[in-house]
Structure 1
């Protein structure tokens, strides 16, 4: 079996916006440089945390072009190329390949899309014509389709389909995917150390925008097999990772990242900045992470 291409921590980058809600490419460069200096060796551009569905196709392509150019081979680049039309997925994927991306993340067909496994297989088989390794996206509460162990096994027959990111938040179901012995990536922030212990092949982690050094340290300890150290390093992260998963996820990541020094601006409408009442709980959950994240 070929070596898994996306091990460890892949940060689902929060797309930076300026005060008028436009892409802020100057801030993009600053953020990427600081994340690389903090130990990040994989990025997801136009991620869910980065408000993919609220970027135009042209904006997403510009983000991918500039982000890939800034990273310049110093870290892996995954691009979300999800779209309602599979032809657009292929187009976006080919563009990502032209920009030097290492792989793409693709939602199954959503918004009243098919739920039959054969149709989902056909969708990903067509999407694979974009030419890059595909990470399927298991987020059943959002799209109404669950990637089960049997479906994962079928999808893995597609040459470019390399893994699935599980954002279900259900460790038991993720463990059942891992037991297929096919590589699985965890996408549920509160489950990080438990998913790594269960055998997840890698992480796509939106909350790592907030505390990249601390998150990278957890993964480093897990890769060394030092589970006592994992538990110790996770202790500081656990409150904030649990809190953001309870609701207002994107808004919370943007707000918390600003506090720790990784300011991506405000999330784009229709999302609003986190209200003051929720900011109190957010600051409490962050604890000493602001001090720990100085680069």
Structure 2
């Protein structure tokens, strides 16, 4: 499995009772695949992994894996603070048929780099499928240091890192220290898709592609073709959505936008509140903007 292209950091659809909505999940999966994404990444930050029980994670992963049906790789988030729990969940997801795992660094307790190295090594050794490291220091309080990533990249089934630090120089360091390994660096910051590709990243795990996958995919495709001016224009286009995403707690704005576009992904799980009417008005303006650019929504 080659890790590359635009992989959607998919939201987790809920019904109005805040239970996982299987039908909406299948709708969203098919929209994304039909739009040309290179993979589906579930149970990440925008997938509200931190608000979903392990039993729900398993049930949700079953639906996604079944619906995707090997059309694209499915990356499943299995990280947590407890190494034992992360190992058990990772093994379960492998059993279900996940193509790869994504493992966020432990959070809240802020472990040392040595402890993180041990944590990831134990998880990788417990499964046979690929493992993608997930670095998001803004929310975890810890940055995976390049030297740690260099050591982890030597482990056969640790194949990539999603870097959501928002720092291009951080990604560049990862690319340099893993140059001798079969290891992919992916941008986890949608604003840096094209800049990351230019310095050697293999692609991006992009939340904005829940709503505008065609635009995100075009950034990658234009870059591969060497059409950098078109790639830059597409990169700029996603800023219209990113500006409104800042008006609420993740992923409330994104889910409302997807819902208003025609796929009933429901609200974020409490305590995250739904956006108010003023913000909803701004979301509708964003949808109108993209509809004017012939982005096909389901509404």
Q: Is the 8 A contact 1:212 1:293 kept in 2?
A: no
Aligned to 2:12: 15
Aligned to 1:99: 96
Distance 1:27 1:161, change over 3 A: same
Aligned to 1:135: 132
Q: Is the 8 A contact 2:113 2:145 kept in 1?
A: no
| Separation in structure 2 between the aligned mates of residue 276 and residue 293 of structure 1, nearest angstrom | 24
Q: What number of residue pairs does the alignment pair up?
A: 291
| Separation in structure 2 between the aligned mates of residue 276 and residue 246 of structure 1, nearest angstrom | 12
Distance 1:293 1:214, change over 3 A: farther
Q: Is the 8 A contact 1:189 1:242 kept in 2?
A: no
Equivalent runs, 1:1-295 vs 2, <5 Å: 5-114=2-111, 116-128=112-124, 129-180=126-177, 181=179, 182-244=183-245, 248-286=249-287, 288-290=289-291, 291-294=294-297
Shift of 1:85: 1.4
Q: Is the 8 A contact 2:247 2:279 kept in 1?
A: no
Larger displacement relative to structure 2 (60-69 or 255-264): 255-264
| Per-residue Cα deviation, 1:90-128 (whole angstroms, up to 9, x for no partner) | 1111121122211111112222142x2221111111111
Q: Unpaired runs of 5+ in structure 2?
A: none
| Separation in structure 2 between the aligned mates of residue 53 and residue 151 of structure 1, nearest angstrom | 25
| Separation in structure 1 between the aligned mates of residue 255 and residue 62 of structure 2, nearest angstrom | 22
Name the SS of the counterpart of 2:205 in structure 1.
Answer: strand
Q: Is the 8 A contact 1:93 1:132 kept in 2?
A: no
Shift of 1:67: 0.7
Q: Unpaired runs of 5+ in structure 1?
A: none
Q: Is the 8 A contact 2:163 2:185 kept in 1?
A: yes
Q: Is the 8 A contact 1:137 1:166 kept in 2?
A: yes
Distance 1:198 1:284, change over 3 A: farther
| Per-residue Cα deviation, 1:137-181 (whole angstroms, up to 9, x for no partner) | 111111111112212111112222112110011122222222323
What TM-score comes out, normalization by structure 2 length? Answer: 0.91
Name the SS of the counterpart of 1:179 in structure 2.
Answer: helix
Larger displacement relative to structure 2 (51-60 or 156-165): 156-165
| Separation in structure 1 between the aligned mates of residue 69 and residue 50 of structure 2, nearest angstrom | 25
4+ residue stretches of structure 1 with deviation over 6 A?
none
Distance 1:267 1:193, change over 3 A: same
What TM-score comes out, normalization by structure 1 length? Answer: 0.92
Q: Is the 8 A contact 2:77 2:103 kept in 1?
A: yes
